[in-house]
Structure 1
Amino acid sequence: MAEAHQAVAFQFTVTPDGIDLHLCHEALRQVYLSGLHSWKKRFIRFKNGVMTGVYPGSPAGFMVVVVSYMSYNKYRQLDPSLGLIAKLGQHIPISQYMSTDSQKIVGGVLVGTGLWVTIIMIMRNVLKSLLSWHGWMYANHGSVSWTTRIWMLLVKVFSGRKPMLYSFQNSLPRLPVPSVKDTCKRYLESVRPLMEDEQYERMKGLAKDFEKNLGPRLQWYLKLKSWWASNYVSDWWEEYIYLRGRGPIMVNSNYYAMDFLYVFPTSIQAARAGNAIHAIMLYRRKLDRAQIKPLMLLHTIPMCSAQYERMFNTTRVPGVDTGRVFPLAICERFLDITSFHSHMNESKHIVVYHKGRFYKVWMFYDGRLLLPREIEQQMERILADQSEPLPGEERLAALTAGDRTPWANARETYFGRGKNKQSLDAIEKAAFVVTLDDTEQRYDEANPVKSLDSYAKSLLHGKCYDRWFDKSFNLIVFKNGTMGLNAEHSWADAPIIGHLWEHVLSMDPVRLGYTEEGHCCGQPHPNLPGPQRLQWDISAECIEVIDSSLAVARVLADDVDSHIFPFSDFGKGLIKKCRTSPDAFIQIALQLAHYRDKGKFCLTYEASMTRLFREGRTETVRSCTVETCAFVRAMIRDETREERLKLLKVAAEKHQNMYRLAMTGEGIDRHLFCLYVVSKYLGEDSAFLKEVLSEPWRLSTSQTPLQQVELFDLVRHPEYVSSGGGFGPVADDGYGVSYIIVGENLINFHISSKHSSPETDSHRFGANIRQSMLDILDLFQLDKKTK
């Protein structure tokens, strides 16, 4: 590109008269401003580290404690050091250098500091004990007991004032390890409606044998880990469920988030990218400074913030497969035998992909973040570039979409040196990746089904080579200004990226805004250096690997049957009038829809978070229960309304109780998974664990929560909120269902399955979900109650 030039800080030539030195003052100025920015960032990180390390204490609290302590001792005529200075004087000649008054001041400060630290440690441990109580979750909806009120008041008292993002990390309790007996009991209860009597009795025997023999031995190791590690699940979950997988992460692991459904702020691609990128970088600045408020349930109970740490500057790097599922020696964990995350503390650039070409775009100039109109200017330059992709460049990202082992080998063989390494480093060290997509995606009222399905598939996999699927997330901006995200799953769960996305959507059309012509507000920069085109030297052998990965990815992408539909007949407003949990209502409707769709029940996965504990991620709620199945059968047999309503309430209460157990560390699936990991480390085979972990999740569900309601005016503008996101099917013959409750009157469903399965059809399942939602609501006869 003509605009892609480099500023040279100095030049010199040797002449007969000596060395002629030419300095470029503008380049030196930029070097100075860049260094200043880096040092400011380091200072802020250091300050935040100190503030977080002493929380719930504070510098103001330190001054209060020390001054109060010294004033009290002065009033009582006591030695403020309590004899400490005198004892030190026996070994150190303090009196030679300090007066008596100075010794008193120093002693008072030292003892006051010790008192301040003691108070902090007491507050932390009391808060940790308080947060270990979860009785508040079992209160009846709409009523709060005096016990819970007193508990919440104590939590607020010991939580301190003005917490930062990571302030509560040291005060969160550790995830408890359930007993083997309880886990086996709950497991058998969960599979009872899915097994015939003979099969169930066999599984019951395996569970009892495990509980009596191997289970206690494995449990001992888990207990030991729970005392030593911050969380006994999370590191193994990340490594064995995500990083050691050898299959494609596109569709199978990555997920997507959508734009507004009915609002189109601008149709100018570069302008939408300018506002979105600027909003994302502002969020990163707040994240670096720990200025994001920690998520608090009921505005009181803190949740773990550890997953935010790798949101930016992070890439999943493939490792070479050794053919082993589990390591045989601890030392192997340090070898390059599996995937890992490459994370940079700081990155000042992003990488943009457009029509087969990669560009490095700096996000800072003159020591400040680029403004939206300046970012739009950079995007315009990329869109105007008419140069052709280099050989192999256009489909290079297909390596991240196919199987992991070929990508790992290709990365080691073809990208270890020269310009290929430099360009790959630019991508992997970027804050995030942006794709300026050359297709148009948008909700079309004239063709809502086809337009939304196409939009979802484009975000989920695109052309299989126009998203860098290893990156923590890709921002995709389409030709007509619609946008969305594609996120890699291993570094964090969906609510974390959802928190960022809510920030972006709340800023984009309202706070940042656009001109009447649809451009970003502000003016282009007259001297802004242009984007830098990344250079590649890709061999014919490497291109063959790229084509092979692309072929694998295309088969997977073409098989995805995606269906998104907005359910606008009613929302959580009417569901609450039924005195039922909206999530329980929807989950029971999904069970009814699935039975109508396939004529049978299946093992069902609903994601629940465990972020009430330190470094908690997710737990499984097994939504297909005995009680839910009884309700579904009653609906199918068309029993009396009173009987169906009674069974519905029992099923909803059962679901809520299971959700509470999952959130409070009493779930079964993560415990069973970790027991299995320990058994493999010990070289022990368990028929019980093997069967449990091989059972397929034919219905995998997840709710996308709206976490920052205060950012959106859902009463006057319910359309100004994300339409949610989705993921691919977990089982080849199953469904993936994601849903988001938007305001009081809208629920968006995202359904996925595979065309290759004769048992599934996403559109058919969507129709069954809609009918099931209406049928369950009809049981309450709210229209008659209103009359």
Structure 2
Amino acid sequence: MAEAHQAVAFQFTVTADGIDLRLSQEALKHIYLSGVTSWRKRFIRFKNGILTGVYPASPSSWLIVVIAIMSAMYARIDPSMGMIDGIKKNLPVNGYMTIQTQTMLSAILFSTGLWISLIFILRQMLKLLLSYHGWMFEPHGKISRSTRIWAVLVKIFSVRKPMLYSFQASLPRLPVPRIDDTIKRYLESVRPLLDDEQYSKMEALAEEFKKNPAPRLQKYLLLKSWWAPNYVSDWWEEYIYLRSRNPIMVNSNYYVMDLVSMTPTCLQAARAGNAVHAMLLYRRKLDREEFSPMKVFGIVPMCSNQMERMFNTTRIPGIETDSVQHLKDSKHMVVYHKGRFYKVSLYQGGRLLLPSEFEMQFQKILDDTTEPHVGELKLPALTAGERIPWARARAQFFSQGVNKASLDAIEKAAIFMTLDDEAHGYDRQKQRSMNLYAKSLLHGKCYDRWFDKSFNLIVYTNGKLGINAEHSWSDAPTVGHLWEFVLATDIFQLGYTEDGHCKGEVNKSIPPPSKLQWDITQECQDVIESCYNVAKALAEDVDFYGYLFEDFGKGFIKTCRTSPDAFIQLALQLAHFRDKGQLCLTYEASMTRIFREGRTETIRSCTIESTKFVYAMEDASKSNEEKLELFHKAAEKHQHMCRLAMTGAGIDRHLFCLYVVSKYLGMDPSFLKQVLSEPWRLSTSQTPQQQLCMIDLEKHPDCISAGGGFGPVADDGYGVSYIISGENLMTFHISSKLSSPETDSYRFGQNIRQAMLDIRALFSQKKNMKL
């Protein structure tokens, strides 16, 4: 109990002689240091706000402008063309200053106005430059003169080292495509999937929609695009994520895995200690805006808006819609272990706990043998089931008393971590190891993850790590950015002792973790059990297959003079045709972060060109040269679709927003209704890596990540995530539903492997013929 007493700043007792007051000097010292840390954070945020607010100029440029104006006036030149005299005449304090002081103050005010105007002009010029996307559509290796000039100008305007959010105000808005262009691209995308009669009906619906009410809906959308920073993102977050009343486990949340073949320590508490400390170092860098903005090809900045809500964030359930609660700061984390919740302080005396101190705290949790409170074991299942029962239970059972205090601790925590009681990870000797690892990260036991948190850090008994992330607040590249930093910092900066413990001394006087208290009634337990049963049925229906594709990687694909992503997407089309005997509407996620508050757009990977290639691959009468020619045409088409999606000329976000406007206006256009009801039976995504370039994969091949994945989108479809890990390695994560007689994740995985090999054979035969 000695540690607990040190956490109390003062104690008093009432005696016959009066009040006996005793102060704890150590505790007062910690309170003082905590206050200093808090004010330091406020000052840094204030300073960064100024630096970001004036970018691409700098605060020192104000002084240069003032000196220049003063110097001109000293030389009896009026650069303001009489404006300074006008300001001087209208100063409200003329009677209290000398003429010279009035002139100087007027000059400073004029200089400040001029400086602000120059910042605005520079920012608009930079925004205009960033609105140019011609560079993206130029052939690989061939750069036009206009693009070279554009690139030089962008570099000149961003010559001052930018902070994380420096470009936010200079990023262009996402443009609203023309109705005719969107409908034309849509009809082209569905042509290979419809017979002549079906296509004629869809064409008629599109023409009818184009005449009425499309023009009216487009006007409202244009109005929104002028007013809002991004005409898609807020509606996308609300209607696609927050308004969904289905479980977010499996359906929305996704996972990220640890390194494939390297585990720096097998000690669970030690690995957790380094990981948490690394995450908090990352949070500090975020708060201080020390990360440089991500850039496409090192030139075009991407929006950093999503990174703001990475920590201290929770999805709050509601009856009709959920909301995202984000705090500016949080000084504690919550740990779940074997049905018990613990609150762990992140700071001691105003400083961040060391990895060794975190390890000590987590080891105390692992060593705790107390039993969970009644109903506590499966409490997180509330976040795994449907949203309405959870929203009602939260309002009824967690709005007061110890339950409210404990729930607040969870929802306001910087990080939620599960110290899992199982061992998982990829093991070459165990065929199903990756499958079990993925399913554990995706849904666990359905009651050992708090699925509402922005992300769950999961640490297994063998030292392996993983993340389960909630999707509404951001997309996977944002979490991937954090994860790369954590893994690199864990291995190359923090490290471990020879016996696997965290490095550093331990302050044993740190107060131990406090166990959260609950008073869960039988009625609440019934709701928890009901949510658990729903989640369990959903989890048990997930059919997962993951594997490492080591036959070749992007090294070989580059020699084929094609895009690795296009290569894989065409292999997926071929694999799906072989798997189901037909092609399907295919979703591939593409980013739109070169625009302000951009998120994603859909690349419709099943095209007329890809269909011709797939049919040719299954036609024995087609020659190798014919197949290769069709492959290159399909790959070029896919690359063109990617560019269109990235530059705001995609199909699906535009149609989605038109549909939202139609609902606001009480309309129900048949065309939009038909479009948005079409199922994505093949949903795909590429996991990004090397966003920070903190790991040299050539020098450290053991540090290759296995990437991550997600659950199936359609009941009779596949979800496929892939990561191009190195020159000779790719990893595939495939999900489907066991309840569907049409799908089999293992079968589809084998079809993907064979499709990849068959496409490689096309190029190998061509090379052999040349030899």
- What is the TM-score normalised by the length of structure 2? 0.98
The aligned counterpart of 2:39 is 39
The aligned counterpart of 2:67 is 67
Pairing partner for 2:706 from 723, 741, 764: 723
Residue 385 of structure 1 deviates from its aligned partner by 0.5
Q: Are the equivalent residues in 2 in contact too, given 1:732–1:754 (CA < 8 A)?
A: yes
Q: Are the equivalent residues in 2 in contact too, given 1:80–1:111 (CA < 8 A)?
A: no
Q: Are the equivalent residues in 2 in contact too, given 1:502–1:721 (CA < 8 A)?
A: no
Q: Are the equivalent residues in 2 in contact too, given 1:128–1:173 (CA < 8 A)?
A: yes
Q: Which amino acid aligns with 2:36?
A: L
Distance 2:264 2:770 in 1: 39
Change (3 A) 1:37 1:213: same
Distance 1:85 1:685 in 2: 59
The aligned counterpart of 2:419 is 436
Q: Which amino acid aligns with 1:640?
A: S
Q: Are the equivalent residues in 2 in contact too, given 1:269–1:481 (CA < 8 A)?
A: yes
Q: Which amino acid aligns with 1:467?
A: R
RMSD: 1.6
1:784 and 2:768 matched: yes
The aligned counterpart of 2:675 is 692
The aligned counterpart of 1:313 is 312
Change (3 A) 1:174 1:93: closer
The aligned counterpart of 2:175 is 176
Distance 1:165 1:92 in 2: 39
The aligned counterpart of 1:246 is 245
Distance 1:275 1:206 in 2: 58
The aligned counterpart of 2:105 is 106
The aligned counterpart of 1:150 is 149
Residue 712 of structure 1 deviates from its aligned partner by 1.0
Residue by residue over 1:102-134, the C-alpha shift from the partner in whole angstroms, topping out at 9 and shown as x without a partner, is 344323322222222121111111111111110
Residue 94 of structure 1 deviates from its aligned partner by 5.1
Matches within 5 A, 1:517-666: 517-638=499-620, 639-666=622-649
Change (3 A) 1:642 1:546: same
1:135 and 2:118 matched: no
- Structure 2 unaligned runs (5+)? none
- Structure 1 unaligned runs (5+)? 322-337
Distance 2:375 2:559 in 1: 59
The aligned counterpart of 1:329 is none
Q: Are the equivalent residues in 1 in contact too, given 2:485–2:692 (CA < 8 A)?
A: no
Q: Which amino acid aligns with 1:747?
A: M
Residue by residue over 1:366-386, the C-alpha shift from the partner in whole angstroms, topping out at 9 and shown as x without a partner, is 111111001111001100111
Residue 412 of structure 1 deviates from its aligned partner by 0.4
The aligned counterpart of 2:28 is 28
Residue 710 of structure 1 deviates from its aligned partner by 2.2
The aligned counterpart of 1:334 is none
Residue 708 of structure 1 deviates from its aligned partner by 2.3
Distance 1:13 1:93 in 2: 59
Residue 160 of structure 1 deviates from its aligned partner by 4.1
Distance 1:640 1:367 in 2: 71
Residue 779 of structure 1 deviates from its aligned partner by 1.0
Residue 715 of structure 1 deviates from its aligned partner by 1.2
Q: Which shows bigger deviation, 514-523 or 714-723?
A: 714-723
Q: Which amino acid aligns with 1:613?
A: F
Q: Are the equivalent residues in 2 in contact too, given 1:735–1:753 (CA < 8 A)?
A: yes
Identity %: 65
Residue 78 of structure 1 deviates from its aligned partner by 2.6
Q: Are the equivalent residues in 1 in contact too, given 2:398–2:404 (CA < 8 A)?
A: yes
Distance 2:137 2:91 in 1: 60
Question: Secondary structure of 2:763's partner?
Answer: coil
Q: Are the equivalent residues in 2 in contact too, given 1:5–1:530 (CA < 8 A)?
A: no
Q: Which shows bigger deviation, 11-20 or 285-294?
A: 11-20
Distance 1:270 1:398 in 2: 25
The aligned counterpart of 1:492 is 474
Change (3 A) 1:150 1:90: closer
Residue 86 of structure 1 deviates from its aligned partner by 3.9
Question: Secondary structure of 1:554's partner?
Answer: helix
Question: Secondary structure of 2:715's partner?
Answer: coil
Residue 309 of structure 1 deviates from its aligned partner by 1.1
Residue 60 of structure 1 deviates from its aligned partner by 2.0
Q: Are the equivalent residues in 2 in contact too, given 1:397–1:468 (CA < 8 A)?
A: yes
Distance 1:405 1:295 in 2: 38
Q: Which amino acid aligns with 1:578?
A: C
Distance 1:776 1:315 in 2: 45
Distance 1:552 1:359 in 2: 26
Q: Which shows bigger deviation, 270-279 or 774-783?
A: 774-783
Q: Are the equivalent residues in 1 in contact too, given 2:84–2:110 (CA < 8 A)?
A: no
Distance 2:221 2:134 in 1: 25
Residue 81 of structure 1 deviates from its aligned partner by 6.3
Q: Which shows bigger deviation, 1-10 or 237-246?
A: 1-10
Residue 89 of structure 1 deviates from its aligned partner by 4.7
Change (3 A) 1:93 1:319: closer
Question: Secondary structure of 1:611's partner?
Answer: coil
Q: Which amino acid aligns with 2:526?
A: E
1:677 and 2:676 matched: no
Q: Are the equivalent residues in 2 in contact too, given 1:33–1:366 (CA < 8 A)?
A: yes
Residue by residue over 1:62-107, the C-alpha shift from the partner in whole angstroms, topping out at 9 and shown as x without a partner, is 2222223322432x32357654554345454756543444344323
The aligned counterpart of 2:265 is 266
Residue by residue over 1:383-428, the C-alpha shift from the partner in whole angstroms, topping out at 9 and shown as x without a partner, is 0111000001010000000011100000000000000000000000
The aligned counterpart of 1:332 is none
1:417 and 2:400 matched: yes
The aligned counterpart of 2:14 is 14
Pairing partner for 2:757 from 755, 769, 774: 774
Distance 2:14 2:575 in 1: 82
Change (3 A) 1:343 1:170: same
The aligned counterpart of 1:330 is none
- What is the TM-score normalised by the length of structure 1? 0.96
Q: Which amino acid aligns with 2:682?
A: L
The aligned counterpart of 2:77 is 78
1:302 and 2:301 matched: yes
Residue 519 of structure 1 deviates from its aligned partner by 0.4
The aligned counterpart of 2:190 is 191
The aligned counterpart of 1:57 is 57
Residue by residue over 1:689-725, the C-alpha shift from the partner in whole angstroms, topping out at 9 and shown as x without a partner, is 1110000000000001114252111112123132100
Distance 1:261 1:80 in 2: 65
Q: Which shows bigger deviation, 425-434 or 157-166?
A: 157-166
Question: Secondary structure of 1:689's partner?
Answer: helix
Question: Secondary structure of 2:436's partner?
Answer: helix
Q: Are the equivalent residues in 1 in contact too, given 2:84–2:107 (CA < 8 A)?
A: no
Distance 1:486 1:534 in 2: 22
Residue 687 of structure 1 deviates from its aligned partner by 0.9
Aligned residues: 769
